[in-house]
């Protein structure tokens, strides 16, 4: 079954839920609610990666993230930490996090590779070209699928040469990062090319702008949840390892439908 990563942003400026979960108790309650609704993993982030967001000091990121990680781990929740900073990743792993989800794939901080390799934690390697805190990098590709897959493959190879074990790596095509809507849809339509690398695939489409362009009222982020769940179901049908989402309930229903569809296809009861 495809894993659901429930998004928990303990930030004031994330594009969807910035400011909602800055209080530790509120953040933990929300995370436990997502688990009750079907989240398998809670992905805790203390720095927004939306276009135009400013970088956050590592000390502030750790102040936001670590108390939440510790409490969730103490309550038996599997936690992923969403960070580009090696020091934050190391501290979160020490606090019990199981996964490092780095939108830069380890490229933003030269110490990240050593942290994840030495810890043995699972590591999400996302396709990334540059920080979004300044001008959004141009979304220019001659062949977006070939280039995204090729760049991820190269980064994975670098990590393996340094000592990472392939079974600890997860790949993510980075929807919306240096990609326009057409690029996103093209990548999604060719997930088989990414899966051919032989590594688990994580998809993060939830509430992103390219989905809002499709639905009435799409400027309102909550109106994008149905489209997000449809993408999750289609991705699950393609065999992805996980989907990172805001609305866990709708996603869980969509994944149950996809799983039933696949059972029917295989003739299983």
Give me the sign of the Cα torsion angle 259, 264, 268, 269. Answer: positive
Rounded CA-CA distance 212/223 in Å is 8
Which two tokens mark 97? 């996090």
For tokens 């969807």, the residue is 16
Rounded CA-CA distance 177/229 in Å is 20
Q: Around Cβ 23, how many Cβ atoms within 10 Å? A: 13
Own/partner long-range contacts of 54-58 (Cβ < 8 Å, ≥24 apart): 54/13, 54/133, 55/131, 55/133, 56/11, 58/85, 58/87, 58/88
For tokens 């794939």, the residue is 105
Q: Which residues lie below 8 Å from residue 64, measured CB to CB, with a gap of 6+?
A: 10, 11, 22, 46
Query: DSSP letter at 167?
Result: G
- Known catalytic residues are 208, 244
Beta bridge pairs of residue 82: 45, 101
Cβ–Cβ under 8 Å, residues 174 and 208: no
Own/partner long-range contacts of 212-221 (Cβ < 8 Å, ≥24 apart): 213/181, 221/15, 221/16, 221/246
Q: Are strands 79-82 and 41-45 parallel, antiparallel or unpaired?
A: parallel
């Amino acid at each position: 079954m495809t894993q659901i990563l429930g998004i928990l942003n303990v930030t004031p400026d994330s594009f969807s839920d910035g400011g909602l979960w800055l209080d530790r108790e509120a953040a933990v309650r929300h995370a436990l609610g997502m688990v009750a609704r079907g989240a398998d993993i809670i992905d805790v982030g203390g720095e927004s990666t939306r276009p135009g967001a400013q970088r956050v000091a590592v000390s502030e990121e750790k102040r936001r993230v670590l108390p939440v990680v510790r409490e969730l781990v103490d309550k038996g929740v599997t936690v992923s930490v969403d960070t580009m900073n090696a020091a934050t990743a190391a501290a979160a792993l020490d606090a019990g996090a199981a996964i490092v989800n780095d939108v830069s794939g380890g490229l933003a901080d030269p110490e990240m590779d050593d942290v994840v390799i030495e810890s043995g934690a699972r590591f999400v390697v996302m396709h990334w070209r540059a920080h979004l805190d300044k001008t959004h990098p141009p979304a220019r590709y001659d062949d977006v699928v070939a280039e995204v897959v090729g760049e991820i493959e190269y980064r994975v190879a670098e990590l393996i040469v340094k000592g990472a074990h392939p079974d600890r790596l997860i790949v993510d095509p980075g929807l919306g990062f240096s990609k326009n809507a057409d690029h996103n849809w093209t990548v999604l339509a060719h997930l088989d090319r990414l899966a051919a690398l032989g590594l688990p695939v994580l998809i993060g489409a939830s509430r992103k702008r390219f989905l809002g362009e499709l639905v009435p009222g799409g400027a309102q982020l909550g109106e994008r949840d149905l489209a997000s769940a449809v993408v999750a179901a289609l991705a699950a049908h393609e065999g992805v390892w996980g989907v990172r989402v805001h609305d866990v309930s709708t996603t869980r229903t969509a994944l149950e439908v996809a799983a039933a569809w696949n059972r029917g296809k295989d003739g299983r009861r």
